[in-house]
Structure 1
Amino acid sequence: MDTSGDLPVSRQGSFYPVDLACQDYHELNPDSHKGPESLHPDTKTFSHPSGAEVHVTQDNVGRLMLFGEGGPPHSLLALHTPADETQVVALYLHGKWWPIGEVLKTSSKSRHGLLIVQSVMERVILFLLSQIIFGVMEKPLGESMYFSAPSALEYGKILWQDGEAVGFYTIKKKGSLCDGCTGQSYLLPVLDTVFVRTHWRRNGLALQMLQDFCTSMSKESVLGISRPVSTSMYGGTVHLKDKESPLYRNCHGQN
Structure 2
Amino acid sequence: MEFPVDVLVSGRHEDLESSAQSYMNKLLYSNPDNTQCLTLPNTRKIRISPANVGFVPLYGANLKHKVLALFAPEDQFTAVALFLADQWYAVEDILRTSNTAREGLVKVRSVGERIVLYVLNRIIYRTAEMGSNEVPFLCHGEEVFAKILWKNGEAVGFYSVKSKGSLCNSFVSQCYLLPVMDSIFVRKDHRGNGHGLQMLEDFVDSFKDDELGLKYPLTPAMQKVCRQYLRTYPADVDLLWEVEGVGGPYQKVKVASKLGSMTLQCKQFKWVLKPFLFFCLHLAVEISALPISTRTRSSERRQKKRPREEPEESAVENRPEKINRSLKTPHI
TM-score by length of 2: 0.65
**How do 1:69-88 and structure 2 match up within 5 A?**
69=61, 71=62, 73-88=64-79
Range with greater deviation from structure 2 (94-103 or 18-27): 18-27
Shift of residue 240, structure 1, vs aligned partner: 3.2
Within 2, Cα distance between the matches of 1:95 and 1:53?
Answer: 19
Q: Distance in 2 between matches of 1:36 and 1:45?
A: 12
Q: Gaps (5+ residues) in structure 1?
A: 1-13
Query: Cα deviation per residue 1:196-250 (whole Å; 9 max; x = unaligned)?
Result: 1122111111110011101222x321111002322111111123333xx2x5579
Q: Does 1:235 align with 2:224?
A: yes
C-alpha distance 144-235 of structure 1, shift in aligned 2 (>3 A): closer
- RMSD, aligned α-carbons: 2.5
d(CA) in 1 for partners of 2:148, 2:87: 24
Question: What amino acid is aligned across from residue 19 of structure 2 in structure 1?
Answer: D
Report the 3-state secondary structure (helix = DSSP H, G, I; strand = E; otherwise coil) of the residue aligned with 1:110.
coil
The equivalent residue for 1:186 is 176
| Matched residue, 1:68 | 60
- Partners of 1:95 and 1:38 in 2: CA distance: 18
Structure 1 position 112, deviation (Å)? 0.9
Give the number of the structure whose alpha-carbon radius of gyration is greater: 2
Task: Give the counterpart of 1:48 among 40, 43, 51.
Answer: 40
Q: Which moved more, 1:189-198 or 1:36-45?
A: 36-45
CA distance in 2, matches of 1:170, 1:240: 18
**Structure 1 pair 143–84 and aligned structure 2 pair: CA distance change class (3 A):** farther
**Which of these residues, 49, 52, 59, is aligned with residue 51 of structure 2?**
59
1:165 partner letter: A
Give % identity. Answer: 35
The alignment status of 1:30 with 2:18, answered yes or no, reads yes
Distance 2:234 2:193 in 1: 18
Aligned residue identity for 1:107: S
Aligned length: 233
In the TM superposition, 1:115-126 aligns within 5 A as 115-126=106-117
Alpha-carbon distance change, 209 to 40 in structure 1, aligned in 2, over 3 angstroms: farther
- Relative contact order, higher structure (CA 8 A, sep 6+): 1
Give the Cα separation in 2 of the matches to 1:59 and 1:116.
36
Residue pairs, 1:174-213, within 5 angstroms: 174-179=164-169, 182-213=172-203
Structure 2: give runs of 5+ residues left out of the alignment.
Answer: 239-332
